[in-house]
Chain A
Amino acid sequence: MERQADFAKCIKGSTGDWEVVVGLEIHAQVASRAKLFSGASAEFGGAPNTHVSLVDAAMPGMLPVINRFCVEQAVRSGLGLKAEINLKSVFDRKNYFYPDLPQGYQISQYKSPIVGEGEVLIDMADGEAVTIGIERLHLEQDAGKSVHDQHPTSSYVDLNRSGVALMEIVSRPDIRSAEEARAYVSKVRAILRYLGTCDGNMEEGSMRADVNVSVRHPGDDLGTRCEIKNVNSIRFIGQAIEHEARRQIDIIEDGGVIDQETRLFDPRKGETRSMRSKEEAHDYRYFPDPDLLPLEFDQAFVDEIAGSLPELPDARKQRFIDDYSLSPYDAGVLVSDRASAQYFETAAKGRDAKVAANWVMGELFGLLNRADVEIETSPISAEHLGELIDLISDGTISGRIAKDVFEIMAETGSAPGSIVDERGLRQVSDTGEIERIVDEIVSANPDQAAQVAERPKAIGWFVGQIMKATQGKANPQVVNELLKKRLGMS
């Protein structure tokens, strides 16, 4: 079913509203040790051509043998995308010449992929939930890498990536804005990371996307699309779509037509440009690879994998809403990354979940952002954050002091309890001592005391003075009560 045009998402042009139509092909590297059809290492990096077997270098007479683990991961990913699993699929040769493709063809799946139609649910910031259709997921080989900046007239080719297993996940053209595209890629990445089938590391190229963009007036047939190749960050995917949509609208509104072509996104300039050299290569002459039998397995193989699936982001989000009474937005933020969700659950265990969520999403995410580290290497462990929350809820320290303790925890990695003891930050709830200080300060400031009688809000000044006198350690609730009593307000 086709989506109705949403005018709020349209781009304004001189000839009216334009709807952006986007489809994505995500290439996700299977988190395997060895390659798809050879026993060479699939690990990122390595000295040039050291992760290469004679199969990957396409030496004559070499035969591909499929890696069972890669097949399992494709099925697992398919199940995570709520997709149909094909018990029989076929590997084809996609023929083209390029220096980093020693075989002269890529082994891929064309007419019959291992995974068929599925869907991904994305949550937008305004609360809208959008279903993006998945057309297919298929297994294919990665190509090698060309290095162009080592020599003025030569390119250097490293085949370490050649033959690494990729899952190509093809969406339907259901995406209608750069924002939706970003949400979709983030969601697919989260699902694969929950499943453990792809590490989702976009810097190392474990995930990248080809972005198909076209524009049309709402209600019209699909426009001519351009394909932007190999965009390697979620932010760049958004920028590339925004730039490309604007470019196409300007051409059409100036009376031109869009050429169907392959383009490249230049992150430095924030624009796309034509890659004419790829054009003629589009005639790939697919045919079934005679070196490989069809890929076949039985339903029991699929069922066994289905039985081992972890809780996925959507289910976990619902559980966070039901069990912890979190808002859908907070739950969505926390489950978007498996490690964040795990961290939250550890910190919240047996405690006020809302308070824990606020600490994780506020102070902790802020700290991780500033320090530019991932939650896996957080300087504050989830257990320690939980202990800090306990110290607040049992009245040992005030919320204000807790923020100071949090900063000290970030610097030292120490447990909050020992920081509070060593630095004498324990909250003073002893009424006798606070009463003494209240009395002292009220007596010393008769003018302010008189003001409070006329303007009750002026009591804040006294609270401030008392907190200052106690270095913030006085229990604010006790201070308030005693002050009101002393000033005759209660």
Chain B
Amino acid sequence: MSVDQATVRHIAKLARLKVSDADARKLEGELSTILEWIEQLDEVDTEGVEPMTSVVEVTMKMRDDDVTDGAIADQIIANAPEGEEHFFVVPKVVE
């Protein structure tokens, strides 16, 4: 599978990345090569094999329904470029 210019632009837009025309041409080749490399895995017959989710036999740990965290609004917004009354302040986004 190879990637074309339009796909590169679409992926870049979904990832909110600004890509110049020159970079887009370069990425077209690079992404295609990566995909071709990964496609080699298709040669392995995985019929009837469960996807592996962990290298060790463990089940997911669960937590009790207790409030053990929060009330740290200062820390939460400490890195925000802009904040007010513990809100994050961002450029206006309205429908």
A residues near B (Cβ < 8 Å) are 32-34, 38-41, 47-55, 57, 65-71, 95, 97-99, 146-148, 150-159, 264, 275, 277, 280-281, 283, 285, 288, 292-296
22 A–B contacts, CB within 8 A, in A order:
A33-B66, A41-B67, A41-B70, A47-B73, A48-B85, A49-B76, A50-B70, A52-B70, A66-B60, A67-B62, A99-B88, A99-B90, A146-B93, A150-B87, A154-B91, A156-B88, A157-B87, A157-B89, A283-B10, A283-B14, A288-B53, A296-B59
Contact assessment for B62 and A65 in the assembled complex, using a CB-CB cutoff below 8 Å: yes
Indicate with 1 or 0, residue by residue over B81-95, a CB within 8 angstroms of chain A CB atoms: 010111111111111
Complex: A33 Cα to B67 Cα, angstroms: 6
Contact assessment for A47 and B86 in the assembled complex, using a CB-CB cutoff below 8 Å: yes
Q: At the interface, is chain B mostly helix, strand, loop or mixed?
A: loop
Contact assessment for B63 and A67 in the assembled complex, using a CB-CB cutoff below 8 Å: yes
- Give A264 Cβ to nearest chain B Cβ, in Å: 6
Contact assessment for A293 and B92 in the assembled complex, using a CB-CB cutoff below 8 Å: no
B residues near A (Cβ < 8 Å) are 10, 13-14, 16, 53-54, 58-73, 75-77, 82, 84-95
Complex: A432 Cα to B67 Cα, angstroms: 71
Contact assessment for A40 and B69 in the assembled complex, using a CB-CB cutoff below 8 Å: yes
Complex: A148 Cα to B87 Cα, angstroms: 12
With A155-B92, A156-B84, A296-B60 already in contact, 4 other A-B pairs whose C-beta atoms are closer than 8 Å = A54-B69, A68-B63, A147-B87, A156-B90
Contacts of A150 in B (CB 8 A): 87
Complex: A70 Cα to B62 Cα, angstroms: 10
| Nearest-CB residue, chain B, relative to A281 | B14
- With contacts A49-B73, A277-B95 taken as known, whether A295 is within 8 angstroms of B60 at the C-beta atoms is yes
Contact assessment for A50 and B86 in the assembled complex, using a CB-CB cutoff below 8 Å: yes
- Give B11 Cβ to nearest chain A Cβ, in Å: 9
From B13, B62, B88, B92, give the contact of A148 (CB < 8 A): B92
Contacts of A275 in B (CB 8 A): 95
Complex: A150 Cα to B93 Cα, angstroms: 12
Contacts of B14 in A (CB 8 A): 95, 280-281, 283, 285
Which one of A146, A288, A292 has the greatest number of beta carbons of chain B within 10 Å? A146
Contact assessment for A39 and B63 in the assembled complex, using a CB-CB cutoff below 8 Å: yes
Contact assessment for A39 and B70 in the assembled complex, using a CB-CB cutoff below 8 Å: yes
- With contacts A66-B60, A97-B16, A293-B59 taken as known, whether A48 is within 8 angstroms of B53 at the C-beta atoms is no
Contacts of B77 in A (CB 8 A): 49
Complex: A159 Cα to B72 Cα, angstroms: 12
| Nearest-CB residue, chain A, relative to B64 | A68
- With contacts A34-B66, A53-B70 taken as known, whether A65 is within 8 angstroms of B92 at the C-beta atoms is no
From B73, B92, B95, give the contact of A154 (CB < 8 A): B92
Complex: A147 Cα to B90 Cα, angstroms: 10
- With contacts A97-B16, A296-B59 taken as known, whether A153 is within 8 angstroms of B91 at the C-beta atoms is yes
From A50, A69, A153, A277, give the contact of B64 (CB < 8 A): A69
Complex: A97 Cα to B61 Cα, angstroms: 29
- Give A49 Cβ to nearest chain B Cβ, in Å: 4
From A52, A153, A264, A292, give the contact of B72 (CB < 8 A): A52
- Give A177 Cβ to nearest chain B Cβ, in Å: 28
- Give B19 Cβ to nearest chain A Cβ, in Å: 16
Complex: A55 Cα to B70 Cα, angstroms: 10
Complex: A38 Cα to B63 Cα, angstroms: 9
Contact assessment for A32 and B65 in the assembled complex, using a CB-CB cutoff below 8 Å: yes
Contacts of A47 in B (CB 8 A): 73, 86
